């Protein structure tokens, strides 16, 4: 994993408690939790602590794609920490055994939040920063964790910026067809674009129904011909996932985050879909924007490029995908369907029944579909305070989150023309005006929260 030489961060490890909630199961055993830290901008002992609640991946990926946090730290004199989530990247509690049953059982949202609370507490102690206000930041699932930190540990966390955090849809609130309907937003560039995608999937379906597997292999440049309905389902999932990623990562400049994307990938995809060649060839080349960005692949291997799992929007690859699959089988509810009516994709249902069957087979667990609503308040957030919910309207995750302010301190910031947590990324010449404005709003609110918290920390204890 190439470290960015210009990155201000130092990589460190913290001896983290294995099980915060059961004193018998692991005794006082610990594991090494990785975190990145920089005091380059910190007004020592005084400036706030900006703490990124790491999500489902290698912590360097988030640190190198969240430049707004370090830019803000430079403005506000903050110490910055990016903490890696247990079971991801190098923070594997049981090494390669971490994904065995029962070892994987210590992978829960609650354990991860307790990790962060303990790490914050330890760092404040070590660095003589007990009077430094803490603000948490996160994007996507990391944004959900930032919200939860503010709900669960308001004694430590003065405020949260939750960027593109789908806290409602992942708690099973909302419409299961919303996500892929919003991915279908390709039609805003040209209604013909959506029609072309739908048409291509239709041609694929006809070839599959006629079991013309050779033709499918040839048109889509697959390494092996499909040979069963299961293979076709996998192929549909792989193709749908390409459109999902381009919609999420539809940034106005090229990025290297969750793969390599050109600038404006949705526009590039539509141009590709509308070329003069056949629809299936166009579909292949459009998927290639995601799966073959270097052009080095001679053919697509269905099962190595995309992993089917309990998250129909994709789990990624490697050991991180195992961890996310387990979370999607337990607390994080991702029952999203495509239906070919409100969206442009083949009908693929992933409801409670499918989820239960898959999860009990794969992990020997039964999901708890309403648990996040109980444990982290669902949509009943009015008793909370000091949380920013930011969302970009190009992002298919946005409508699974909070789009309207709920009080004067639970603030929705909507970013027209913004993709998945664009506001967390560093400033760029290609930024739309909307995101520059959003970051300014966020910066002002955070400065206010820090000031309020300082007053609270200074007030002598009775």
**Beta-carbon neighbour count of residue 299 at 10 Å?**
12
Q: Provide the β-strand partners of residue 30.
A: 17
- The per-residue pLDDT for 259 is 84
Print pLDDT tens along the chain (462 aa): 445 567 899 999 999 999 999 999 877 899 999 999 999 999 999 999 999 999 999 999 999 999 999 999 999 999 999 999 999 999 999 999 999 999 999 999 999 999 999 999 999 999 999 999 999 999 999 999 999 999 999 999 999 999 999 999 999 999 999 999 999 988 888 889 999 999 999 999 999 999 999 999 999 999 999 999 999 999 999 999 999 999 999 999 999 988 899 999 999 999 999 999 999 999 999 999 999 999 999 999 999 999 999 999 999 999 999 999 999 999 999 999 999 999 999 999 999 999 999 999 999 999 999 999 999 999 999 999 999 999 999 999 999 999 999 999 999 999 999 999 999 999 999 999 999 999 999 999 999 999 999 999 887 665
Instruction: Kindly state whether residue 368 falls inside one of the protein's structural domains.
Output: no
Say yes or no: 158 and 261 in one domain: no
Residues 146 and 228 reside in one and the same domain: no
144 and 31 together in one domain: yes
In a domain, 400, yes or no: yes
Q: Is residue 2 one of the residues assigned to a domain?
A: no
Helix (H) or strand (E) holding 142: helix 141-152
Query: What whole-number distance in Å separates Cα of residue 185 and Cα of residue 179?
Result: 10
CA distance to 212, 307, 335, per residue, from 326 (Å): 36, 13, 14
Q: What span, in angstroms and rounded, lies between the C-alpha atoms of 38 and 80?
A: 5
Whether cis (ω within 30° of 0) applies to the bond prior to 439 is: no
Query: Same domain, yes or no, for 287 and 330?
Result: yes
Neighbouring C-alpha atoms within 13 Å toward the C-beta of 306: 27
Structure tokens of 288? 């290639």
Q: What gap in Å lies between CA 159 and CA 67, rounded to an integer?
A: 19
Is 104 contained in some domain? yes
Question: Pick from 328, 363, 398: which residue ends a domain?
Answer: 363
The residue with tokens 């129904």 is: 209
Residue 105 DSSP symbol: G
Residue 3: inside a domain, yes or no?
no
Tell me the backbone φ, ψ of residue 31, rounded to 5 degrees: -135, 165
Q: Are residues 75 and 201 in the same domain?
A: no
Is 311 found in the same domain as 186?
Answer: yes
Q: Give start and end residues of each alpha helix (H) in 188-274.
A: 191-209, 213-220, 229-248, 265-273
Catalytic residue among 115, 395, 423, 431: 395
159 and 236 in a single domain? The answer is no
How far apart are alpha carbons 367 and 170 in whole angstroms?
12
Q: Does residue 5 lie in a domain region?
A: no
Show which of 304, 336, 363 is a domain's final residue: 363
In angstroms, the CA 206 to CA 18 distance is: 52
Has residue 126 been placed in a domain? yes
Residue 28 lies in a domain: yes
Of 66, 91, 140, 434, which is the active-site residue?
140
* Structure-block tokens of residue 147: 């919200």
Distance between CA atoms of 421 and 386, rounded to whole angstroms?
Answer: 19
Q: Is 202 labeled as catalytic in the residue annotation?
A: no
Tell which of 342, 363, 384 closes a domain. Answer: 363
Same domain for 162 and 208, yes or no, is: no
Give the C-alpha distances (Å, rounded to integers) separating 451 from 44, 360, 438.
Answer: 16, 49, 20
Domain shared by 113 and 196, yes or no:
no
CA distance 334 to 328: 7
Same domain, 350 and 442: no
How high is the pLDDT of residue 28?
83
Distance in angstroms (rounded) separating the CA atoms of residues 417 and 299: 34
Same domain, 186 and 327: yes
- Could you tell me the CATH number of the domain that includes residue 57? 3.40.50.1820
Residues 17, 44, single domain; the answer is yes
Query: Can you give the CATH number for the domain in which 291 is found?
Result: 1.20.120.980
Q: Which domain holds residue 338?
A: 177-363
Q: How many domains does the chain have?
A: 2
140: annotated active-site residue: yes
- CA–CA separation, 131 and 453 (whole Å): 9
- Would you call 175 a catalytic residue per the annotation? no
Point out the catalytic residue in the list 20, 85, 420, 421: 420
The two structure tokens encoding residue 23? 């004193």
- Nearest Cα residue to 450 out of 165, 163, 157, 162: 157
């Amino acid at each position: 994993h190439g470290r960015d030489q210009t990155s201000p961060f130092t990589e460190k490890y913290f001896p983290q408690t294995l099980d915060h909630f059961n004193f018998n199961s692991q005794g006082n055993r610990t594991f090494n939790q990785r975190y990145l830290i920089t005091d380059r901008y910190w007004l020592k002992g005084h400036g706030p602590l900006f703490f990124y609640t790491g999500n489902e991946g290698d912590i360097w990926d988030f640190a190198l794609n969240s430049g707004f946090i370090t830019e803000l730290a430079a403005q506000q004199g903050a110490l910055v920490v990016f903490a890696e989530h247990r079971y991801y990247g190098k923070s594997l509690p049981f090494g390669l055994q971490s994904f065995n049953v029962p070892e994987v059982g210590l992978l829960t949202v609650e354990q991860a939040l307790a990790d962060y609370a303990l790490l914050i507490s330890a760092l404040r102690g070590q660095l003589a920063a007990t009077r430094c206000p803490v603000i948490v930041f996160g994007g996507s699932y990391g944004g959900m964790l930032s919200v939860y930190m503010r709900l669960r540990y308001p004694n430590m966390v003065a405020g949260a910026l939750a960027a593109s955090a789908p806290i409602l849809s992942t708690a099973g609130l909302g419409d299961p067809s919303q996500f892929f309907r919003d991915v279908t937003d390709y039609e805003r560039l040209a209604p013909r674009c959506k029609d072309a995608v739908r048409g291509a999937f239709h041609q694929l379906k006809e070839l599959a129904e006629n079991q013309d597997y050779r033709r499918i292999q040839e048109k889509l440049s697959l390494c092996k011909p499909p040979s069963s309905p299961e293979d076709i389902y996998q192929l549909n999932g792989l193709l749908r996932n390409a459109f999902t990623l381009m919609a999420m990562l539809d940034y106005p400049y090229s990025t290297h985050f969750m793969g390599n994307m050109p600038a404006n990938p949705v526009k590039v995809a539509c141009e590709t879909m509308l070329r003069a060649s056949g629809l299936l060839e166009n579909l292949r080349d459009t998927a290639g924007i995601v799966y073959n960005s270097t052009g080095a692949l001679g053919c697509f291997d269905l099962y190595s490029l995309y992993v089917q799992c309990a998250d129909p929007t994709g789990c990624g690859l490697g050991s991180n995908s195992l961890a996310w699959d387990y979370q999607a089988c337990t607390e994080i509810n991702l029952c999203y369907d495509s239906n070919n009516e409100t969206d442009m994709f083949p009908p693929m249902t992933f409801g409670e029944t499918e989820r239960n069957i898959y999860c009990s087979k794969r992990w020997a667990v039964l999901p708890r579909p309403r648990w996040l609503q109980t444990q982290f308040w669902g949509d009943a957030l009015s008793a909370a305070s000091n949380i920013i919910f930011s969302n970009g309207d190009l992002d298919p995750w946005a409508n699974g989150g909070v789009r309207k302010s709920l009080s004067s301190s639970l603030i929705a910031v909507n970013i027209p023309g913004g993709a998945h947590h664009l506001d967390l990324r560093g400033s760029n010449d290609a930024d739309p005006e909307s995101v520059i404005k959003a970051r300014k709003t966020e910066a002002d609110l955070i400065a206010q929260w820090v000031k309020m918290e300082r007053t609270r920390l200074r007030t002598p204890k009775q």
